[in-house]
């Protein structure tokens, strides 16, 4: 396995992960990004901040999350599978870690308003939750198509006191919601923090979001050692923007014997063009403030992504993943809708756990790599899978997919 550069070297001071990352933003935002960068660096060296963040993660979010050995699921796929149960966190996903960190920073910067983009509504709900807790005004931009598909999450955000703005521009989905949030931020940057939901966007967001969620991997590494006496053979996570994957990868990057697998949304199949696999099926470009792998045409126009999982349905990916791919430290493979849903069903039936469809991509990926790893190692492999979120939000989509909803 190739030696990985120490993560301390990336990103550089300007946020570059090798040829990826950086800041491709209107000058109007540079001062705010610099302010955020300074506040974040100060906070990460400030014991009071770290203590406050740690207490919130423990007492409010319910972490450390469990590392659970899924014995019946393991028996079905031929690997010893340890599930990192981020689905048990408050609000039902890893995302609460990021929003708590950024909301704390917002307060420290003296800003009184947060804005966010959301696709399925999970990040919007998490942001609205933190805004309620910290008494911040909250505006969430959501593509009009998504507000109609995810009416329940729209209601959740409103219950929590947030304003939800349906975005009618462009394709009316997540990327357009992100554009609209950027426009709001340019106009209101003085009193507003843009609480980006994944490890993408302009510097320092990719590095900062990674640092707020990297506890996932730190916990999992310790828990795996306690449970098995050794590090895992592989770590698996789904990748949309990629925050849950970076969160669980980060602590393992220096452990070169641990294989890192990111599973992208293959949609109807990468060869059909209807997918969200930016690394597998895209190319280097600039989108939403950063240079990374992007789904685009020859003119650099963004191509719409497709996935049964709304949370993975994004035509870009965090720049650190692009870098981990280029260096070979992590391996990125597509998982199509059908395989993800088969793994979704298998976890439900063997473990009594309904995963988020996003996380089902990681389960399906683990299932796909298990035989190869077993052959390579000559024994049953140990795979840590990040179960990044719970599937309550997906009951309607999955019910329709499996044809088990009563006809109305």
Cite the active site residues. Answer: 95, 117, 388
To which H or E segment does residue 40 belong?
Answer: helix 30-44
The minimum distance between CB 13 and another protein, in angstroms, equals 11
CA distance 301 to 354: 37
Write the DSSP string, 193-259.
EE--SSS-SSTTHHHHHHHHHTHHHHHHHHHHHHHHSS--SEEEEEESS-HHHHHHHGGGTT-TTSE
The minimum distance between CB 335 and another protein, in angstroms, equals 26
Nearer to another protein, 34 or 59 (CB): 34
Cβ atoms of residues 241 and 316 within 8 Å: yes
Neighbour tally for 167: CB within 10 Å: 25
The minimum distance between CB 12 and another protein, in angstroms, equals 12
Nearer to another protein, 23 or 85 (CB): 23
The minimum distance between CB 293 and another protein, in angstroms, equals 12
Among 316, 353, 312, residue whose Cα is nearest residue 119: 312
CA distance 89 to 1: 34
Q: Name the site residues for another protein (rule: CB under 8 A).
A: 14, 22-32, 169-170, 175-176, 179, 182-183, 186-190, 285-289, 294, 296, 298-302
CA distance 362 to 357: 9
The minimum distance between CB 28 and another protein, in angstroms, equals 4
The minimum distance between CB 155 and another protein, in angstroms, equals 27
The minimum distance between CB 112 and another protein, in angstroms, equals 17
Neighbour tally for 273: CB within 10 Å: 13
CA distance 181 to 139: 9
CA distance 138 to 192: 9
Which residue, chain included where needed, has tokens 């720049």?
A: 319
Nearer to another protein, 175 or 390 (CB): 175
Per-residue burial over 77-91, b if 16 or more Cβ lie within 10 Å, else e, is: bebbbbbbbbbbbbb
The minimum distance between CB 191 and another protein, in angstroms, equals 11
Nearer to another protein, 1 or 298 (CB): 298
Nearer to another protein, 30 or 155 (CB): 30
Cβ atoms of residues 249 and 329 within 8 Å: no
Nearer to another protein, 135 or 299 (CB): 299
Which residue, chain included where needed, has tokens 């990044």?
A: 388
Handedness of CA 247, 253, 257, 259 (dihedral sign): positive
CA distance 105 to 41: 10
Cβ atoms of residues 79 and 382 within 8 Å: yes
Nearer to another protein, 300 or 328 (CB): 300
Query: What's the distance, Cα to Cα, between the start and end of the chain in Å?
Result: 54
Nearer to another protein, 290 or 386 (CB): 290
Write the DSSP string, 267-279.
ET-GGGT----HH
DSSP three-state, residue 80: strand
């Amino acid at each position: 396995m190739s030696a990985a550069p120490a993560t301390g070297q990336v990103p550089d001071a300007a946020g570059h992960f090798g040829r990826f990352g950086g800041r491709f933003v209107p000058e109007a935002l540079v001062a705010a990004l610099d302010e955020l960068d300074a506040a974040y660096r100060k906070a990460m060296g400030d014991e009071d901040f770290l203590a406050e963040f740690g207490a919130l993660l423990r007492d409010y979010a319910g972490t450390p999350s469990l590392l659970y050995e899924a014995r019946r699921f393991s028996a079905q796929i031929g690997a010893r599978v340890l599930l990192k149960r981020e689905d048990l966190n408050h609000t039902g996903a890893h995302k609460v870690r990021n929003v708590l960190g950024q909301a704390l920073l917002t307060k420290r910067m003296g800003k009184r308003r947060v804005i966010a983009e959301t696709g399925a509504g999970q990040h919007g709900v998490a942001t609205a939750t933190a805004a309620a807790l910290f008494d911040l005004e909250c505006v969430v931009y959501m593509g009009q198509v998504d507000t109609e598909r995810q009416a329940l999450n729209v209601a959740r955000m409103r219950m929590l006191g947030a304003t939800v703005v349906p975005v009618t521009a462009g394709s009316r989905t997540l990327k357009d919601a992100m554009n609209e949030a950027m426009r709001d931020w340019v106009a209101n940057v003085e009193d507003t923090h843009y609480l980006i939901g994944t490890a993408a966007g302009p510097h320092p967001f990719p590095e900062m979001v990674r640092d707020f969620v990297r506890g996932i991997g730190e916990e999992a590494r310790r828990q795996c050692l306690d449970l098995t006496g050794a590090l895992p053979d592989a770590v698996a996570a789904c990748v949309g923007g990629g925050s849950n994957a970076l969160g669980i990868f980060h602590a393992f990057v220096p452990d070169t014997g641990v294989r890192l697998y990111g599973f992208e949304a293959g949609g109807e199949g990468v060869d059909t063009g209807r997918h969200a696999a930016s690394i597998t099926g895209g190319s280097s470009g600039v989108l939403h403030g950063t240079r990374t792998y992007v789904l685009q045409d020859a003119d650099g126009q963004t191509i719409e992504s497709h996935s049964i999982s709304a949370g993975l349905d994004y035509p870009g990916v965090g720049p650190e993943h692009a870098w981990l791919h280029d260096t070979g430290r992590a391996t990125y493979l597509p998982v199509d809708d059908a395989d993800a849903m088969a793994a979704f069903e298998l976890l439900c039936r063997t473990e009594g756990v309904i995963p988020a469809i996003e996380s089902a991509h990681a389960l399906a990926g683990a299932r796909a790599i298990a035989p190869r790893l077993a052959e390579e190692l000559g024994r049953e492999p140990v795979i840590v899978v990040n179960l990044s979120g719970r599937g309550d939000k997906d009951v309607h989509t999955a019910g329709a997919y499996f044809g088990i909803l009563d006809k109305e």
